[in-house]
Amino acid sequence: MPVSREDASYDPSSGGGEPAPETSSTGEPGSGLFQAYYKEGESAFKRGRFRDAVAYFKEALSQDPDSAAANKYLGLALMEAGDLKGAQTYLSKALELDPRAAVAREKLEFIQARLK
């Protein structure tokens, strides 16, 4: 069941977004591949190419599976692509990694209400 853009759209570059992480989840400098995939995912998301964004964020997570930001944006891209169950998985992981991720929490609550 696709989510309307009005209800669920989120621009990672807007006030609630943060720039691509400069370090990995372990605090080490992020790998070049992670950065490249993350930035491509962010760019695809901004252009409304959600399926492309999903692919890029999955590749970023293959480099750093514990990146809260990449998990969050993968969840948001999946939500925009209409995969609410997949979005739920990655937004939950983002919150597990960063309990302060307000956007992830808000969108996860929205998804959980839609899936009931």
pLDDT in tens, 42-92: 999 999 999 999 999 999 999 999 999 999 999 999 999 999 999 999 999
DSSP single-letter state for residue 29: B
Q: Is the pTM of this model over 0.75?
A: yes
DSSP single-letter state for residue 12: T
Distance (Å, whole) CA 88 – CA 6: 19
Which whole-number Å values give the CA distances from 51 to 31, 32, 56, 99, 102, in the listed order? 23, 22, 9, 26, 24
Give per-residue pLDDT as tens, 13-47.
Answer: 443 444 455 444 544 446 799 999 999 999 999 99
**Cα 2–chain centre separation:** 17
CATH number for the domain formed by residue range(s) 29-115: 1.25.40.10
Pair of tokens at residue 110 = 């929205």
Sequence ranges of the domains in the chain: 29-115
**Contact criterion met (CB below 8 Å) for 97 and 25:** yes
